[in-house]
Chain A
Amino acid sequence: MTVLDHRHHTAVPGWLPGATAPRSDPAPLLPDASPVRVLGTPELEKYDPALLRELYRRLVVGRRYNQQATTLTKQGRLAVYPASTGQEACQVAAALALGEQDWLFPSYRDTLAVVSRGVDPLEALTLLRGNAHTGYDPLATRTAPLCTPLATQAPHAVGLAHAARLGGDPVVALALLGDGGTSEGDFHEALNFAAVLNAPVVFLVQNNGYAISVPLTAQSAAPTLAHKAVGYGIPGRLVDGNDAPAVHSVLTEAVERARTGGGPTLVEALTYRVEAHTNADDATRYRDDTEVAAWREHDPVLLMERHLRRIGLLDDALVQESAEEAEALAARMRAEFHADAELDPMALFAHVYAEPTPQLREQAAQLSAELAAEAEVQHP
C-alpha cells in the first residue's frame, strides 16, 4: 500500500479522487423543519408538574425583573438595560437545564438567566448599573461574566468544557448567543472546535429577530440558524423559544447528550425581543408595531398561564405566590437602586494584576492624594 493509498483507504467508490468519505450521513444532523413545541400539545401532560410550576413561577418573577430594571434605566438608576422581555422562557430554561456543576456563559442580554442560575438579582445588575464590571463571583454559581463583545464567550465555553472532560469531570458548558452573534467569526470557530474536540458544550442561540436594527434576513441566508450546525458535523435543533417546557426539554436533552460523551449541540430558539434593543435604542426606526403586537400574543408568560390552567396545573395560589415573590423582588431592586451606590475609587487599582506594578502603585498614591485633597475642601 502506498502512502496515498493509505491516506485514502476510507474513500468510497465513486467518490471524488482525493476526498475522504463524509464522517456521517448529514441527514440526522439536520434540524426539524418546524420548531419543537410542547405547550398546546398532548406532550405537555407527560411533563413533571413540579417542573412546570417552577418554570411558571420563574417566568413571572423574571418578567417583573425585566420590567423593574427597564424602569430603573428610565429613572437614571441603571446605565443601560438590554431587556429580555419576551425571551424569559429561554432565560429561565437555560438556567434550569444545567446542573450545579455545569457552567453558564451568558451574553449581555442574559441577566435573567444569570439570576435564574442563583446569582443575587442585584449583584447581577452591577455591570449595567455602572459601578463595577462584574458584580457577582463567577465561581460561586459557575456563571461566567456577562459578555459584551459578541460571540467571544463561545470559545471560552468550549475550552472550559474541554478542560473539564480532560479532568474526567462530568461538566457541561452552555453558551448563550443572539442571532446577530452567529455572524461573528468566534461563533464559527467555537462550533468547529467543539465539534472536533467533541467537547461537552451546548450553544443556545436566542433568535429574537433582530441584531439591533438588522433583521435576520439581512444577517443570514441559512434556512434556519440551527442549520449552521450541519457543516460542523454536529446536530442542530430548532425550538419555539417562547415555549418554556419545550426549550427546557430540548436543552436538557442536549446537555445530557454532551454529558454522556455525545458532543456538542447547537440549539436555535425562535423568540422575539418585544422591547427596544436597550433603553438607548429607537425600535420604531426599523420595525412596525403590528409585528410586535403579534409576538405579544405569543408571549411566553401568557402561553404558560393559558396551557397550565387548561391542564389544571395552575391554581390561584400559585399565581398569587408568584406575583408576590415578583413584587418583593421589584421592591428590593427599587430600594437598593434608589440609594446611591457606595463606591471606592481606589478599587480602580485593585485586580489589574495579581501584584500591582510600581507604576500602578504610584498612580494609586496620586489618586489617593487627590481624594484626600477633595475631602479636605468639602469638610475642612
Chain B
Amino acid sequence: MAQALNSALRDALRADPAVHVLGEDVGALGGVFRITDGLTAEFGADRCLDTPLAEAGILGTAIGMAMYGLRPVVEMQFDAFAYPALEQLFSHVAKMRNRTAGRLPLPITVRIPYGGGIGGVEHHSDASEAYYTSTPGLHVVTPATVADAYGLLRASIASDDPVVFLEPKRLYWGKAEFDPAAPVEPIGRAVLRRTGTSAVLITYGPSLPVCLEAAEAAKAEGWDLAVLDLRTLVPFDDETVCRVVRSLGRAVVVHEATGFGGTGAEIAARVTERCFHHLAAPVLRVTGFDIPYPPPMLEHHHLPGVDRILDAVARLQWEA
C-alpha cells in the first residue's frame, strides 16, 4: 500500500503542476513511512517540501497556497501529531468555502497515517476519524486496499474540497498487484468486499482485513457474512449501506476507534432510522474500548479482533 500511495503522489505531481507536497521529513528521508520517497529528487524541493516542524504552520501555509491556486497535499507524521493543526483544520480548512460563499474553495488533501496495531508508543496509534467526520466541510476518506490507496488518493487530490485522507498505517506493508489505470469506485461509494446471506459487517480502513478474517471464521458457525467496506466516511454512502442492510436484516459495525460518540454510533443510528422495518436485530457495534489508546503490549486487548466480532454476530437474535 505504501508503494501505491507513493505512485499516486508521483502521478499527481506529474499530471498537475499545481500539486505540491509538504510536511515534516517528506524530502530526503521520504517520510517516516517512505510514502514520499523520491519525490523531492524527481520534482525538486519546491514541489515536495521539507517544512519546519510545526503542524499548524504546515496546514496554515497550505491554506494560503490553496488560496493562490495550488493543490497542496500535506503529510501529518502520525495521527496524534495532527492535533496542533486542528485549529487550522476545523476553523479554516473546513469552513473557508462556506465562510466565503463559495469564493475560496480549498482543494487541500491532508494525509494522516492513523490507527494502531504497529506497536507504537503513546500518541502513535490514535484512530481519530470521529473528530474529522463530525466537522462539516471535510471529506473523510480511508482506503483499505492497495487499489483504493492509489485511486482514492488521486481522487482526493483532484477534489475541489478539502479531504482528510486517513491511511491505515498497519496496512502500509500489505501487498497486492494493482493497475493504476484500472477504474476504482469514486469517493463516496461503499464497496461490498464479500457477499453473504446471513448478516453484514460494515467497516473501513484498518478493520477491513479483520472483518474478512471474521467472515471466513464464521463459516464454521454456519454464518455466511457479507463485508462492506465504506471507503469514504464523508460523504456517507447511505444508499449502498441501506440496500445491503435491508436485504440481510442484520448488521454489525466494526471499527477500532473508541465506541462512545464514535463513527459507529452514527452509522448504527442512520441504518436504524432508514431500515428499521427491515431489521431482524438491533445494529450492533464492535469497537475499541473507551480508553486512551493503550501501550503497545496491551493494544491487542483493545483492538476488535475476530472473536469479538463473532460474539457480536452471535448476539444478532437469530431465533427472533
CA distance A357 to B28 in the complex (A): 47
Do residues B290 and A360 form an inter-chain contact, with CB atoms below 8 A? yes
Given A79-B121, A180-B53, A185-B84; A348-B294 close (CB under 8 Å): yes
Q: Which of B52, B81, B291 is in CB contact (< 8 Å) with A149?
A: B81
Which chain B residue shows the least CB distance to A180?
B53
Q: Is B242 an interface residue (CB 8 A)?
A: no
Q: Is A164 an interface residue (CB 8 A)?
A: no
Q: Is A131 an interface residue (CB 8 A)?
A: yes
State which residues 245-303 of B face A: CB under 8 Å: 260, 289-292, 294-298, 301-302
Residue among B54, B55, B81, B301 with max Cβ neighbours from chain A (10 Å): B54
Do residues A360 and B291 form an inter-chain contact, with CB atoms below 8 A? yes
Residue among A184, A186, A220 with max Cβ neighbours from chain B (10 Å): A184
CA distance A53 to B56 in the complex (A): 45
For residue A184, which residues in chain B have a CB less than 8 angstroms away from its CB? 53-55, 84
Q: Is A150 an interface residue (CB 8 A)?
A: yes
For residue B301, which residues in chain A have a CB less than 8 angstroms away from its CB? 345, 348, 367
Total A-B residue contacts, Cβ distance less than 8 Å: 112
For residue A131, which residues in chain B have a CB less than 8 angstroms away from its CB? 295, 297-298
Interface size class of B (residues with CB under 8 A): 35 or more
Q: Which of B55, B119, B302 is in CB contact (< 8 Å) with A348?
A: B302
Q: Which of B24, B121, B308 is in CB contact (< 8 Å) with A211?
A: B24
Beta-carbon contacts of A70-85 to B below 8 Å, as 1s and 0s? 0000000001100000
Q: Is B30 an interface residue (CB 8 A)?
A: yes
CA distance A180 to B58 in the complex (A): 14
Q: Which of A185, A357, A363, A370 is in CB contact (< 8 Å) with B307?
A: A370
Do residues B291 and A349 form an inter-chain contact, with CB atoms below 8 A? yes
Do residues A214 and B53 form an inter-chain contact, with CB atoms below 8 A? yes
Q: Which of B53, B55, B121, B292 is in CB contact (< 8 Å) with A127?
A: B121
CA distance A343 to B302 in the complex (A): 14
Interface size class of A (residues with CB under 8 A): 35 or more
For residue B52, which residues in chain A have a CB less than 8 angstroms away from its CB? 180, 183, 214, 218-220
CA distance A80 to B28 in the complex (A): 22
Q: Is A285 an interface residue (CB 8 A)?
A: yes
CA distance A286 to B123 in the complex (A): 25
Do residues A285 and B291 form an inter-chain contact, with CB atoms below 8 A? no
Q: Is A352 an interface residue (CB 8 A)?
A: yes
Q: Is A94 an interface residue (CB 8 A)?
A: no
CA distance A349 to B301 in the complex (A): 11
Given A131-B295, A186-B84, A219-B53; A148-B290 close (CB under 8 Å): no
Do residues B289 and A349 form an inter-chain contact, with CB atoms below 8 A? yes
Beta-carbon contacts of B50-73 to A below 8 Å, as 1s and 0s? 101111110000000000000000
Q: Is B32 an interface residue (CB 8 A)?
A: yes
Q: Is A2 an interface residue (CB 8 A)?
A: no
Do residues A218 and B50 form an inter-chain contact, with CB atoms below 8 A? yes
What's the least CB distance linking A320 to chain B, in Å?
36
For residue A348, which residues in chain B have a CB less than 8 angstroms away from its CB? 289, 291, 294, 298, 301-302
Q: Is B131 an interface residue (CB 8 A)?
A: no
CA distance A81 to B54 in the complex (A): 23
CA distance A212 to B28 in the complex (A): 11
Q: Which of B80, B122, B291, B298 is in CB contact (< 8 Å) with A352?
A: B291
CA distance A212 to B24 in the complex (A): 9
Q: Is B173 an interface residue (CB 8 A)?
A: no
Do residues B56 and A211 form an inter-chain contact, with CB atoms below 8 A? no
Q: Is B130 an interface residue (CB 8 A)?
A: no
CA distance A345 to B84 in the complex (A): 31
For residue A183, which residues in chain B have a CB less than 8 angstroms away from its CB? 52-54, 57
For residue A128, which residues in chain B have a CB less than 8 angstroms away from its CB? 121
For residue B143, which residues in chain A have a CB less than 8 angstroms away from its CB? none
Sorted nearest first, the 10 A-B pairs with minimum C-beta distance are A213-B29, A130-B296, A183-B52, A180-B53, A286-B28, A183-B54, A183-B53, A345-B301, A130-B297, A148-B123
24 contacts between A and B (CB under 8 A): A80-B121, A127-B121, A127-B122, A128-B121, A130-B121, A131-B298, A184-B53, A184-B84, A185-B54, A185-B84, A211-B24, A212-B25, A212-B32, A214-B52, A285-B28, A343-B297, A343-B298, A348-B294, A349-B289, A352-B291, A357-B290, A360-B291, A363-B289, A367-B301
B residues adjacent to A (C-beta < 8 A): 24-25, 27-30, 32, 50, 52-57, 80-81, 83-84, 119-124, 260, 289-292, 294-298, 301-302, 307-308
